[in-house]
Structure 1
Amino acid sequence: MHPYKMELIHTIIDEIKLLCSNEYVNESASIQSPLRLTDEQLQDLIFKIVISLPDKLIYLSDERQIRYYVKLIASEFVLFQVNEDLANPSYPILFSNFINELNSHLIKKSPLR
């Protein structure tokens, strides 16, 4: 994977942790409590989201637009995940639908379309 995409994954994860830590004082429990995910599960899910993003959204956007994408992806993921359970047999389908909707929204908001 391209190093820029790896950096984007870590930036999104940091933003998710920040959003979750606003709710929970204990930072070590900040992801496990609201999202019911381990750090490894979180990284795997965000990896799947970033892989699905159209390359032009990542490589041709300016820094301001990338910050917007990071905040949007993080907040939408938190909203999705607090309502879903990774152990649910339907989770893969729900997550796939979430990714499709998220990408559609990002493309519509992109000045590059």
Structure 2
Amino acid sequence: MSGVSEAPNGARGEAALDLAGERLRLRPSFAALVAAEEELGPLFDLVDRAADGKLSLSDMAALFWHCLVDPPQGLTRDGLGEAIVEAGLAKLSPVLRGILKQILGGR
């Protein structure tokens, strides 16, 4: 991955995702959440799975992928998934929690 992403704008519901030496921006926009829902099923079910500790790695990667803003040139979905595994779930839990809060509460 290469390139520099703008700093996340909290007023727009954006979150920072630091992976593989890059700072990526995630924004749970309407279009992003519709795309995620088409792939993953209803968002409330996704939130319930997360609350029950049953959110899969592929669920997380898909949600992050759909919410990604201005990805670095050359970043693929598989590359994002590999970077997620490399970073570890503990590091990414706060980012996931923030996106899920946006889904439930809006901005």
TM-score by length of 1: 0.25
Greater helix content: 1
Rg larger for:
1
TM-score normalised by length of structure 2:
0.26
